[in-house]
Amino acid sequence: MGASLKVPVWTTFRRVTLPICLPAILEIWIFLFVSAMTTVGAVIFLDGPDTKPASVAVVHVDEAGQASAAAAMACVLLAATTAAKLARLAVDALAGRAT
């Protein structure tokens, strides 16, 4: 449709394609971010056997008897994932108003 109206490709992409695809792209990014926060195999594969994901570090700190430090680390993890989800919802709300 855009080509028949002689609209530039980038304008069509920016005003039609991107608003349609943006919610799905953001949701996929949030899913991958949250999954990466808890995945053990990817961290060991990419960084080496000495690297521990934050979720495993929380458990190890708790098992070492430092419950308050483990609780603080868990709160930081929760805050990071919540902030990512809220940022996604904010962008979605802004995109919804723009279209």
Cα distance between residue 30 and residue 84, in whole Å: 7
- On the question of pLDDT at 98 being above 80, the answer is no
H helices of 1-99, in order, are 9-12, 18-38, 41-47, 54-63, 67-98
Asked which of 8-12, 19-23, 44-48, 86-90 is least confident by mean pLDDT, the reply is 44-48
Cα distance between residue 62 and residue 76, in whole Å: 15
Q: Between residues 94 and 66, which one has the greater pLDDT?
A: 66
Q: Which two tokens stand for residue 83?
A: 């902030």
Residue 41 is predicted with a pLDDT of 53
Confidence band (pLDDT; 50, 70, 90) for 1? low
Q: Which two tokens stand for residue 22?
A: 């943006």
Close Cβ partners of 77 (under 8 Å, ≥ 6 residues apart): 37, 54, 55, 58
